[in-house]
Chain A
Amino acid sequence: MEKSSGLQHRPGRSLWVCALLGAAGMAAVDEIVFHQILAWHHFYDRSTPSVGLISDGLLHTAELVGLVAGFALFADLLRRRALSTAHAWAGLFLGLGGFQLFDGIVDHKLLRVHQIRYGVDLLPYDLAWNGAGLLLLAVGAVLTVRARR
């Protein structure tokens, strides 16, 4: 990556910057919608192992830093007129789906940070959650293939 070559499309960078924005954005949506508005996710779940608490803290801070860094990198791409729109959309969907699936499988199931909702049969919720993640990832994959053509 040469920094001096302004005014040239940078597809790879467009893709990963928007994937970062997508993942951090999805984490923010999770925090706002499921923790705060619906209050389905619990702030603290007593069955969480300490490794789950630590990874949750790291991921939560990474979401904040990633969101700000993503915006700065995106603004930089625009300033250089280096944004490849097709790759940007592909990256965004890959990021959205990637985080949703990671959250559904690693956070909810492996690390047991918290469950989607409490006092209900979890199976349909888990299927819908991870299915949505897979769908978003699939859209991202299709868009990536189309962007590369």
Chain B
Amino acid sequence: MPGAHHPQVALVEWVIAAGAAAAVTAYLLAAARLRRRGDAWPVLRDLSFLAGGGALVWALLGHLPGGPFTAHMAQHLVVAMAAPLSLVLGRPLTLLLRVLPPRGTRRTLLAAARARPVRWLLFPPAAAVLDVGGLWLLYRTPLAASHHPLAQVHVLLAGLLFTFAICQLDPVRHRWSLAWRGLTLLGAGAAHAVLAKSLYAAPPPGAVYAATDLHTGSQLMYYGGDLVELALAAVLATQWYRATGRVLRRSTMATRRTVSAE
């Protein structure tokens, strides 16, 4: 947004970036502690979390290319979509639950992760409405022109919530089925694509951009969103492929046992 230079917005961006750097440091220390203890923790998860945090810091504090709308869209793609995916793939909740001592904070955290309201917050369509619905509000109401400093915080948190609910990699009590998650991804992706195309034709109310900037930015939103949706779909497809593989192995082993018993 052109509000990137508003002092309050800049302050919020610095705070988020500092939070991201602290989270990455804590993650790497926790993973190192786990490994010293002899637990296995894939290095790919560390790299994914590190990349997510790094991308967040770069998108918030770095200089993004293009006109103001294009630069804003690049920032949006990283903060709301790409960085959350990268962070969620690091399975931070699993790591935290493993590294914390059994009593105290761990118990509270586990209780929170299993609380009923959290279950509904992680209901994929609900998370999608909070995420993409918030985006529609941001771009299709005068909210966009108001440069609210907390808009960036909402976009990041909603992106994390949506990605977390779709991927469902960390242990929470209720697991929503692949159908819920896949169909939600389809609906959210469609809403994102329609919003991107509508921005091509008309900027957010109260905002003025050069036509080329608007066109480049909205196409970046459309095709950039595609890449993240492809990655999310690949996560779901991999989960399905592995789960059916386990069922298949069990059934072939069972058949072999019956055959050899006869």
Contact = CB atoms under 8 A, between A and B. Distances in A.
- Interface centre among B197, B198, B238, B247, by most chain A C-beta atoms within 10 angstroms, is B197
B230 interface: yes
Interface string B241-255: 100110110011001
B218 to A, nearest CB: 8
A110 interface: no
B189 A64 contact: yes
Contact of B234 (A6, A68, A76): A68
B115 interface: no
A85 interface: no
A43 to B, nearest CB: 6
Nearest to B235: A68
B200 interface: yes
Given A6-B252, A79-B248, A44 B201 contact: yes
A3 interface: yes
B180 interface: no
Given A44-B201, A53-B198, A65 B190 contact: no
B251 to A, nearest CB: 4
Interface string B172-208: 0000000000100110011111100110110000000
A62 B188 CA distance: 11
Contacts of B194: 53-54, 56-57
Interface in A78-106: 79-80
A25 B190 CA distance: 18
Nearest to A80: B248
Contact of B251 (A6, A62, A75): A6
Contact of A72 (B197, B201, B240, B255): B240
B110 interface: no
A65 B248 contact: no
B195 to A, nearest CB: 8
B233 interface: yes
B200 A44 contact: yes
B186 A43 contact: no
Interface string A11-54: 00000000000000000000000000000000110100000011
B106 to A, nearest CB: 35
Contacts of A61: 185-186, 189-190, 192-193, 229
A76 B241 contact: yes
Interface residues of A, number: 25
A69 B182 CA distance: 10
A3 B186 contact: no
Contacts of A64: 189, 226, 229-230, 233
A65 B182 CA distance: 8
Nearest to A113: B197
B11 interface: no
Nearest to A44: B200
B48 interface: no
B26 interface: no
B197 A71 contact: no
B248 A6 contact: yes
A54 B201 contact: no
From A53, A60, A61, A75, residue with most partner B Cβ within 10 Å: A61
B186 to A, nearest CB: 5
Interface of B: 182, 185-186, 189-194, 197-198, 200-201, 215, 219, 222, 226, 229-230, 233-234, 236-238, 240-241, 244-245, 247-248, 251-252, 255
Interface of A: 3-4, 6, 43-44, 46, 53-54, 56-58, 60-62, 64-65, 67-69, 71-72, 75-76, 79-80
6 contacts: A44-B201, A53-B198, A60-B190, A60-B193, A65-B233, A69-B233
Given A43-B222, A44-B197, A62-B186, 19 more contacts: A4-B255, A44-B200, A46-B201, A57-B189, A57-B197, A58-B186, A58-B190, A60-B189, A60-B193, A61-B185, A65-B182, A65-B185, A65-B186, A65-B189, A67-B230, A68-B234, A72-B237, A72-B241, A80-B248
